[in-house]
C-alpha cells in the first residue's frame, strides 16, 4: 500500500478503490463549488450515487474527506512548483516563465480553485499553513536568485515577500475577477482562457521590468 505524508497529522493513501475514487471526485466537485461549510455528506453521497453509510465507511467524516482531497490537490501542485523554484539550472527569468505557465495551466484546469482556497484560508488558515511546502517558496532558489540580483545591483531592493506577492498576484488576480473581466469585454469562457494563456509570456516580462533598476 503506497502512502505519503502531507502534514504532521494527515496521511493519504493513494491506493484507492474505484468507489473511493468516485467519492473523492464527487466531493471535490462539490467542495469547489460550494465550499466546505455549505457542503453536506448527503450532497456527496447523492453525487457519488452511494448511501451515507458507505461514505462514512470509506472516509469516516466530511472533514477527513475534505482534508484528503484538498491536501492531495494542493500538495501535488505545490510540490511541482517547489521543483521549479529550486531548480539550480534555470535563471530567475526562466523560473518566472515556468511559474506563469504552470500556475495558469493549473487554474484553467481548476478554475474554481483560487476562490475556494482564498475562502478556506480565511475560514480555516491553520489547515493550509500545516502544509510543508507553504514556507519553502521564501527559502527557495527563486527568492535567493532575486536577492543575489539585488546584491549585484541588477534588481531593486524590496522585501522578498513583495516580490513573491507580486508574482502570484498578477497570475491569480485575473482569474479571481474573471466574471467582471468577461462582462466588461463580453468574453466567452474560451476567449477568457485564450487571454490568460497569452499572459504566460507577458507576466515574466512585466515582473522583470518591475524589479529591474
pLDDT (mean) for 89-100: 95
Question: Domain spans of the chain?
Answer: 3-211
The count of residues in the chain is 213
pLDDT(6) > 90: no
- If you classify domain 3-211 with CATH, what class do you get? mainly alpha
Residue whose C-alpha cell is 485564450: 194
The DSSP line for 103-117 is HHHHHHHSTTHHHHH
Q: Which band of pLDDT confidence, cut at 50, 70 and 90, is reported for residue 26? A: very high
pLDDT (mean) for 182-195: 95
Amino acid at each position: 500500500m503506497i502512502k505519503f505524508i502531507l502534514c504532521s497529522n494527515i496521511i493519504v493513501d493513494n491506493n484507492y478503490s474505484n468507489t473511493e475514487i468516485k467519492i473523492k471526485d464527487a466531493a471535490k466537485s462539490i467542495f469547489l463549488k460550494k465550499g466546505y461549510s455549505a457542503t453536506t455528506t448527503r450532497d456527496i453521497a447523492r453525487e457519488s450515487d452511494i448511501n451515507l453509510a458507505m461514505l462514512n465507511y470509506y472516509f469516516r467524516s466530511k472533514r477527513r474527506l475534505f482534508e484528503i482531497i484538498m491536501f492531495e490537490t494542493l500538495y501535488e501542485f505545490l510540490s511541482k512548483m517547489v521543483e521549479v523554484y529550486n531548480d539550480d539550472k534555470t535563471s530567475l527569468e526562466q523560473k518566472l516563465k515556468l511559474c506563469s505557465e504552470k500556475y495558469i495551466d493549473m487554474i484553467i484546469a481548476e478554475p474554481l480553485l483560487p476562490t475556494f482556497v482564498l475562502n478556506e484560508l480565511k475560514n480555516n488558515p491553520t489547515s493550509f499553513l500545516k502544509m510543508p511546502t507553504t514556507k519553502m517558496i521564501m527559502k527557495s532558489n527563486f527568492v535567493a536568485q532575486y536577492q543575489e540580483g539585488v546584491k549585484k545591483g541588477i534588481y531593486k531592493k524590496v522585501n522578498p515577500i513583495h516580490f513573491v506577492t507580486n508574482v502570484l498576484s498578477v497570475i491569480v488576480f485575473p482569474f479571481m475577477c474573471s466574471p467582471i473581466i468577461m462582462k466588461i469585454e463580453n468574453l466567452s469562457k474560451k476567449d477568457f482562457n485564450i487571454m490568460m494563456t497569452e499572459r504566460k509570456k507577458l507576466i515574466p516580462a512585466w515582473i522583470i521590468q518591475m524589479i529591474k533598476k
